[in-house]
């Protein structure tokens, strides 16, 4: 096995996570990124507890670094609608207003959803890559794919052609590898967005709430502001044509807008940027040795915070499968289950983020500003025949349309009966937005279906609630979190006891199930783990959380998803054997290592 067995293109969150997870499985990889340093301009900030669980497996030191960056939850709990940053809010959602809900959410994972700007997160991920002996991380290397070869170009040197066994396209929304493979993205473009990243130390005086998100409806501006750590902020607004000032003369545009929106506070622009809001999935996630993960495979509206988190989940789904192939002799067809399992999940994320985006209209429709009309205008302005009209003219038309929409917000500042009615309508609609910001059901409740999951007795794990997660060991679901004792008597999250290789069988009846597994003499490696509660009083809770009683067992694969469960004790041994022989015999045929791992830079054909 060489580092060129797996080459990952793109060291964003998806690619970096994959490289780190592969290393945990003993698989060396090469990962290239055309950038020398991580991007300053932040995008993501919502980091799901599930991503933190996955990164705990990938690199415990990384999770330590991220914990140090995590802001206290009572500083990231307010979502505000307002006319300007300093004015009285039109209304708010306080995510901490239901203490019971917080207790419930905390019970789902050892981690809590966090807010870490991507500009802070990515340097930590890159540091973890640099520290990993099995990862050959090449900064400043640009990749392309031509005539079946992957071209890797170091800075200031000609490209080298390599033909790795697997190429992972983690090269983001505008993936060149996806384009070269002729894989189209399907789904609508919803809006074009311009954004500014700025520092403003005195924006919120001490003692005032600093909202995590502010949806702003100012007479000269409408958009959303994200509060980041260290008095940094991102302010975003839609635009209709690339010749508009926000895209073409962005710094000047934002210097004009910022004083209006943030008042007299001093500010310093750190960077500006544009991005396209889409709800799109690649028509396939795999073409031969090319596998698409993260934004290269799917891109969603930012509303919901699913983009980066789903890329981390893609990597998690793929890593143990690549390890099973490269290290344990599994058939290459195992990789087909990547798309079978992930596509329905990311389809749901795309739908939910799009729903969240349009659901914001419930608040703003009385104002006459909606994301639906923005979508229609965006599609209209992108009609091919309009390309014949000079940019100057298009920019003027687009500016007028934008201004006509934005100026409707003037009605909000009027202190007359109409203004008051409008403000009340908007305030009344704000509580309808809660699902947008608390989606524990999707964060933990995404489940897989396909040939590796036993659906013969209970059927597939159905999509649950968006807002509420209902822990379940239904095959396909993520193993629910519960603290247990390991073999040395240490209290640990049950996920920590899931083996990276083979399947892990959790049961309270260890003696019986150890005998069953031994008698069955299966090729699939199975580690039997006792469900031991941290203290005797918790025993019932631990057993109930696994939903299989005192005699049953839950079988879990390396990414923590349940593949089989049974309450029947010894009587179920035939059923277990049949399932494993039909579904899993091809995954671990050799039952052991084909070849030990080596340090990444020892064998690369790129040297
Ligand atoms: C405003 C905004 C807010 C968002 N908020 C959230 C949020 O709160 N939570 C969330 O989960 N998601 C959020 N997202 C989405 C999130 O930012 C993306 O989903 C995420 O960055 C995708 O990660 P990735 O690793 O797939 O791709 P990227 O982060 O785009 O990384 C791709 C990498 O590939 C490299 N690359 C590209 N081409 C090449 C090449 N040819 N050769 C070598 N390297 C190459 C790039 O330099 C880059 O480092 C948000 C997005 C936006 C725009």
Fold annotation for 189-278+365-437: D-Amino Acid Oxidase; Chain A, domain 2 (3.30.9)
Q: How far is the CA of 50 from the centre of ligand 1 (A)?
A: 18
Q: Evaluate if residue 584 carries a pLDDT over 60.
A: yes
The per-residue pLDDT for 600 is 46
The per-residue pLDDT for 205 is 80
CATH of 3-70+116-185+280-358, picked from 3.40.605.10, 3.50.50.60, 3.90.980.10, 3.40.50.300, is 3.50.50.60
The finding on whether 28 has its CB within 6 A of some atom of ligand 1 is no
CA dihedral angle for residue 247, residue 252, residue 255, residue 258, rounded to 10 degrees: -20
Give tens-digit pLDDT for 491-519: 999 999 999 999 999 999 999 999 999 98
The finding on whether 309 has its CB within 6 A of some atom of ligand 1 is yes
Atom of ligand 1 nearest to the CA of 176: 41
Give tens-digit pLDDT for 377-396: 999 999 999 999 999 999 99
| Residue nearest (by alpha carbon) to ligand 1 atom 9 | 305
Tokens of 221: 């501006």
**What are the domain boundaries of the chain?**
3-70+116-185+280-358, 189-278+365-437, 440-583
Atom of ligand 1 nearest to the CA of 144: 41
| Residue nearest (by alpha carbon) to ligand 1 atom 6 | 44
Per-residue pLDDT band at 450 (split at 50, 70, 90): very high
41, 197 Cβ separation under 8 angstroms:
yes
CA dihedral angle for residue 405, residue 409, residue 411, residue 412, rounded to 10 degrees: 160
Q: Evaluate if residue 19 carries a pLDDT over 50.
A: yes
Give tens-digit pLDDT for 320-331: 999 999 999 999
Rounded mean pLDDT, 279-295: 97
Atom of ligand 1 nearest to the CA of 115: 8
Atom of ligand 1 nearest to the CA of 310: 11
Pick from 14, 17, 38, 43 the residue to mutate for probing ligand 1's pocket: most ligand atoms within 8 Å of its CB. Answer: 43
Q: Which residue's structure tokens are 């895209």?
A: 247
The finding on whether 305 has its CB within 6 A of some atom of ligand 1 is yes
Q: How far is the CA of 463 from the centre of ligand 1 (A)?
A: 27
Give the number of other Cβ atoms within 10 Å of residue 45's Cβ.
24
On average, the pLDDT of the chain sits at: 93
What is the DSSP code string of 254-290?
Answer: HHHHHHHHHTT---EEEEEEEEEEE-EEES-SEETTE
Q: Evaluate if residue 1 carries a pLDDT over 50.
A: no
Q: How far is the CA of 122 from the centre of ligand 1 (A)?
A: 10
Atom of ligand 1 nearest to the CA of 45: 8
Q: How far is the CA of 169 from the centre of ligand 1 (A)?
A: 12
Give tens-digit pLDDT for 177-195: 999 999 999 999 999 999 9
The finding on whether 43 has its CB within 6 A of some atom of ligand 1 is yes
The finding on whether 34 has its CB within 6 A of some atom of ligand 1 is yes
The finding on whether 307 has its CB within 6 A of some atom of ligand 1 is yes
User: How far apart (Å, rounded) are the C-alpha atoms in residues 130 and 419?
Assistant: 57
Q: Classify residue 515 as left (phi > 0), alpha (psi -120 to 50) or beta.
A: alpha
**How high is the ipTM of this complex?**
0.98
| Residue nearest (by alpha carbon) to ligand 1 atom 1 | 43
326, 1 Cβ separation under 8 angstroms:
yes
The finding on whether 10 has its CB within 6 A of some atom of ligand 1 is yes
Fold annotation for 440-583: Glutaredoxin (3.40.30)
Per-residue pLDDT band at 597 (split at 50, 70, 90): low
The finding on whether 273 has its CB within 6 A of some atom of ligand 1 is no
Tokens of 42: 């932040």
User: How far apart (Å, rounded) are the C-alpha atoms in residues 452 and 132?
Assistant: 30
Q: Percent of the chain at pLDDT above 90?
A: 86
Q: How far is the CA of 307 from the centre of ligand 1 (A)?
A: 8
Q: From 330, 572, 346, select the one nearest 451 (Cα to Cα).
A: 330
Q: How far is the CA of 274 from the centre of ligand 1 (A)?
A: 13
The finding on whether 13 has its CB within 6 A of some atom of ligand 1 is yes
Atom of ligand 1 nearest to the CA of 296: 26
Q: How far is the CA of 39 from the centre of ligand 1 (A)?
A: 10
Cβ-proximal residues to 528 (8 Å cutoff; 6+ apart), any chain = 505, 507, 510, 513, 514, 517
Give tens-digit pLDDT for 382-431: 999 999 999 999 999 999 999 998 888 998 888 899 999 999 999 999 99
| Residue nearest (by alpha carbon) to ligand 1 atom 31 | 12
Per-residue pLDDT band at 4 (split at 50, 70, 90): confident
Please give the C-alpha separations between residue 268 and each of 42, 196, 197, 235, in angstroms, as whole numbers: 15, 10, 9, 13
Q: How far is the CA of 429 from the centre of ligand 1 (A)?
A: 32
Q: Evaluate if residue 46 carries a pLDDT over 50.
A: yes
User: How far apart (Å, rounded) are the C-alpha atoms in residues 35 and 43?
Assistant: 16
| Residue nearest (by alpha carbon) to ligand 1 atom 38 | 171
The finding on whether 11 has its CB within 6 A of some atom of ligand 1 is yes
């Amino acid at each position: 096995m060489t580092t060129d067995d797996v080459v990952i293109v793109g060291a964003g969150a998806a690619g970096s996570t994959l490289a780190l997870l592969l290393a945990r499985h003993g698989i060396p990889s090469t990962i290239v990124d055309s950038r020398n340093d991580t991007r300053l301009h932040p995008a993501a900030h919502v980091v799901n507890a599930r991503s933190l669980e996955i990164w705990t497996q990938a690199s415990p030191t990384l999770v330590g670094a991220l914990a140090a960056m995590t802001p206290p939850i009572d500083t990231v709990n307010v979502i505000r609608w307002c006319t300007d940053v300093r004015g009285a809010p039109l209304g708010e959602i306080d995510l901490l207003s239901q203490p019971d809900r917080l207790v419930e959410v905390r019970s789902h994972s050892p981690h809590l959803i966090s807010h870490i700007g991507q500009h802070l997160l990515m340097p930590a991920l890159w540091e973890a890559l640099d520290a990993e002996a099995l990862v050959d991380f090449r900064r400043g290397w640009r990749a392309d794919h031509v005539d079946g070869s992957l071209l890797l170009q170091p800075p200031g040197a000609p490209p080298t052609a390599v033909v790795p066994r697997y190429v992972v396209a983690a090269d983001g929304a505008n993936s060149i590898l996806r384009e070269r493979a002729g894989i189209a993205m399907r789904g609508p473009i919803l809006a074009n967005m311009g954004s500014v990243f700025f520092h403003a130390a005195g924006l919120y005086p001490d003692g005032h709430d600093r909202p995590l998100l502010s949806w702003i409806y100012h007479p000269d501006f409408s958009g959303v502001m994200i509060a980041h750590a260290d008095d940094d902020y991102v302010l975003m607004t839609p635009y209709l044509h690339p010749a508009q000032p926000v895209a073409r003369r962005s710094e000047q545009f934002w210097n004009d807008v910022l004083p209006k929106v943030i008042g007299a506070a001093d500010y310093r622009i750190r960077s500006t940027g544009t991005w396209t809001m889409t709800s799109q999935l690649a028509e396939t996630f795999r073409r031969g040795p090319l596998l698409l993960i993260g934004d290269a495979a799917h891109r969603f509206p930012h509303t919901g915070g699913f983009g980066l988190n789903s890329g981390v989940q893609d990597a998690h789904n793929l890593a143990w499968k690549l390890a099973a192939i490269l290290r344990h002799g599994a058939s290459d067809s195992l990789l087909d289950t990547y798309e079978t399992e992930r596509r329905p999940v990311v389809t749901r994320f795309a739908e939910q983020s799009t729903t969240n985006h349009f659901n914001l209209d419930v608040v703003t429709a009385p104002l006459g500003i909606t994301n639906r009309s923005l979508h229609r205008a965006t599609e209209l302005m992108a009609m091919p025949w309009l390309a014949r009209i000079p940019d100057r003219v298009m920019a003027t038309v687009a500016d007028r349309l934008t201004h006509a929409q934005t100026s409707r917000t003037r009605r909000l500042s009027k202190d007359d009966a109409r203004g008051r009615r409008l403000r009340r309508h908007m305030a009344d609609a704000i509580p309808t937005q809660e699902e947008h910001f608390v989606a524990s059901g999707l964060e933990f409740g995404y489940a897989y279906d396909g040939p590796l999951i036993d659906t013969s007795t209970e059927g597939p794990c159905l999509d649950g609630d968006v807002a509420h997660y209902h822990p379940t060991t239904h095959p396909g679901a993520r193993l629910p979190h519960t603290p247990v004792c390991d073999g040395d008597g240490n209290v640990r999250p049950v996920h920590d006891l899931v083996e990276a290789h083979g399947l892990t069988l959790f049961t309270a009846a260890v003696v019986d199930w150890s005998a069953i597994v031994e008698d069955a003499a299966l090729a699939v490696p199975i580690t039997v783990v006792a469900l031991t509660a941290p203290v005797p009083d918790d025993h019932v809770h631990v057993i109930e959380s696994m939903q299989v009683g005192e005699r049953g067992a839950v079988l879990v694969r390396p990414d923590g998803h349940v593949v089989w469960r049974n309450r029947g004790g010894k009587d179920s041994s035939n059923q277990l054997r049949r399932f494993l022989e039909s579904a899993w015999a091809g995954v671990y045929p050799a039952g052991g290592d084909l070849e030990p791992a080596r340090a990444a830079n020892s064998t690369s054909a790129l040297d």
